Structure 1
Amino acid sequence: FSFNEEVNQKGDYFIAVNSLNPRKNIQVILEAFKTLDLHQFKLKIIGGSFNTIFKNDLLGSDSLNVEFLNDISDVELKKEMEGAKALINGSFYEGFGLSALEAMSVSTPCILSNIPVYKELYNETALFFDPGKPLELVQKIKDLIDLENYTDLCKKSFELSQKFNWEITSQRYISIIENLKKTK
């Protein structure tokens, strides 16, 4: 991929790649969107099967501008990420958090929970919030919307993603395994 400012046109929605697993903390995102008066922005939640029962449980009686996209293809996921204003992830725990890196690889900035793995990987690029505080997320969303140098953040996100490479990673693992063999 390459960064292209002309192609980098963002839509009127935020995206969350999520599941109903409690550690994924989808509730903080929904609470934030209930608080925001942002009828011009939609929240698209992409994940496993969010059937009608779970949607109603998650949304409650408040009407939100939320769309659930179930089991979409990788091509559709990439398209949704490319068009999103930002990816939001409120997880309490992640091993790596691949969806943030995928978003950044298509120049989409991220608003992430301030868990250690995200701070370590994306500290200079993402906006962070306490995953237990929906109002902090609300403020970060507002900060991103009002950001004067939004295009610079998109470019910075893309550039960070380019530092992660499967070939380099696999070579490092091979090197570690070979060094372990030598010590035996």
Structure 2
Amino acid sequence: MGTALIRVGYDLTTIWRRSTGIFRYATELAKHLLLLEKSAPSIQYVLFFAKEIHPDFLPLQDTFEAIICPTTSELFIKQCWFPAIIPRLKLDAIHYPSFPPPYFQCADTPEIMTLHDAGPWRYPHTLTLHGRVYFRTLLTRGIQHCTRIITVSEHARSEIKHFLGEHHLSKIAVIPEAARPECAIACTDMFKQEVRERYQLPARYLLTVSTVEPRKNLKTLLHAYQLLKKQLRSACPLLFIVGRRGWNHNDILSHMAELKYHVYFPGHVADAELIALYQMATCLVFPSLYEGFGLPVLEAMSAGCPVITSNTSSLPEVAGNAGLLVDPLNPADIARAIYTLLDNDALRLRLIQDGHQQAARFSWEATASMARDLYLQVCEQKQTNSPKLS
């Protein structure tokens, strides 16, 4: 590529939402891409925001060019605004890290898409009809027309192959996620005590970090908790569930209400509070049915919190040998794992130590470096394929 500065667009118009899942991925990757460029500048990043520059990026705003969309409407942004504005910006490539790119390709700008999982095909019933049609249509179009596809685990890559075709594999790169570095930094005792008092947390509690929606399997978790409560009676720890309300959550919330005084759901919590909650929890219980990656598993491990998670999808790949793996469809199996962890201090300490080592295998700096290399490959390919003027 020589010394020419290339221009790469990066879509952050989704991150006005609460920073969970794919939106946290988009944010953390962008931050670390910008930090890489400070030491070895060769890419000028053009970041797209909805309404305003996101507060997380204000300290870094001298390292990128910002383009502000006047609305937060996903449909308008992707299908109208991006196709209109991209041709004017002379980008060498653009990356869509959260939601799929526009249906109609933007001029001759190579597109890169992160496809986190094949959930709309594997578990279509966990989406609304609108969500199924929207994501299946745009993701299928995206994988056909994007120059490269990033996915976040080997399991996700195999799922994409299964549902969308083996012929796409050559353009798919597996670039994993990582825990935020802040998770490994011990919160002060004073702050932990403030969080404990704010949520009236006992000395021992079980933590679940999850959007309240069918795919996260909270009904089975609540059934498992009822079994545990019958066994332990008054010694059963509180189940503390944090996360936003997703689609089709009323039935799940009703189940929580039946377990009042034993299950507490405060909704979304601030990032700093979440880290303290990880660090104080007896364990994280994360029995999701299906994950492209499963970031709470690594965040908990980084924070020194033992992990119980599902033996399905990408979760064994992310947890490695550092978590207790359970059948997410078997409440008795989940309850048994929690009981075993509560009753075995040596196991808990081993999981904490192994969890630190497992989380350290992943870093956002390495993730950003791999993504940056992919951008450079795409731009070099574009330059090679461009017609030469005589």
Distance in 2 (alpha carbons) for counterparts of 1:180 and 1:143 = 49
Give how far 1:28 is off. Answer: 1.3
Per-residue CA deviation, residues 50-76 of structure 1 (Å, 9 max, x unaligned), is 9xx667612364556111122211111
1:151 to 349, 370, 386: 349
Equivalent residue runs for 1:90-105 within 5 Å:
90-105=287-302
Report the Cα offset of residue 2 of structure 1: 6.4
Q: How far does residue 92 in structure 1 lie from its aligned partner after superposition?
A: 0.9
Q: How much has 1:127 moved relative to structure 2?
A: 0.5
User: Could you tell me the TM-score, scaled by structure 2's length?
Assistant: 0.42
- Answer yes or no: is 1:68 the counterpart of 2:260: no
Q: Matched residue of 2:361: which SS?
A: coil
CA distance in 2, matches of 1:168, 1:62: 43
Does 2:234 match 1:42?
no
Pick aligned residue for 2:204 from 12, 15, 35: 12
CA contact (8 A) 1:33 1:64 kept: no
Inter-CA distance 13–176: structure 2 relative to 1 (3 Å threshold): same
Q: Do 2:212 and 2:252's aligned partners in 1 also have CA atoms closer than 8 Å?
A: no
Q: Distance in 2 between matches of 1:19 and 1:181?
A: 37
CA shift for structure 1 position 29: 1.1
Residues 1:29 and 2:221 aligned together: yes
User: Which one has a bigger Cα radius of gyration?
Assistant: 2
1:179 to 362, 368, 377: 377
Whose RCO is larger (CA < 8 A, sep 6+)?
Answer: 1
Report the secondary structure of 1:96's partner residue.
coil
In the alignment, residue 240 of structure 2 is paired with which amino acid?
K
Note the alpha carbon deviations across 1:63-118, whole angstroms, 9 max, x for none. 56111122211111111111111111111111111111111111101100111301
Q: Deviations over 1:114-150 (max 9, x none)?
A: 1130111112111011111100001111121122422
Structure 1: 5+ residue stretches without partners: 4-9
User: Which letter maps to 1:100?
Assistant: V
2:314 alignment partner, SS class: helix
The code of the aligned residue for 1:152 comes to R
SS in 1 for 2:219: helix
Q: CA deviation at 1:174?
A: 1.7
| C-alpha contact 1:34 1:64 (8 A) present in aligned 2 | no
> Residues 62, 69 of structure 1: CA spacing in aligned structure 2 closer, same or farther, 3 A cutoff?
closer
Report the equivalent of 1:83.
280
Structure 1 CA distance for aligned equivalents of residues 372 and 253 of structure 2: 48
Residue 106 of structure 1 corresponds to 303
List alignment gaps of at least 5 residues for structure 2: 1-183, 187-201, 386-390
Local SS of the residue matching 2:240: strand
How far apart are the structure 2 equivalents of 1:90 and 1:24?
7
CA contact (8 A) 2:213 2:245 kept: no
1:118 aligned to which of 303, 315, 330: 315
Q: Where does 1:128-143 land on structure 2 (aligned, <5 Å)?
A: 128-143=325-340
Partner SS, residue 87 of structure 1: strand
Amino acid at match of 2:222: L
Asked whether the 8 Å contact 2:294–2:318 carries over to 1, the reply is no
Q: Percent identity?
A: 28
Amino acid at match of 1:153: L
Shift of the 21–56 alpha-carbon distance from structure 1 to 2, 3 Å rule, reads: closer
CA deviations 1:11-46 (Å, max 9, x no partner) are: 410100122210011111111111113333110000
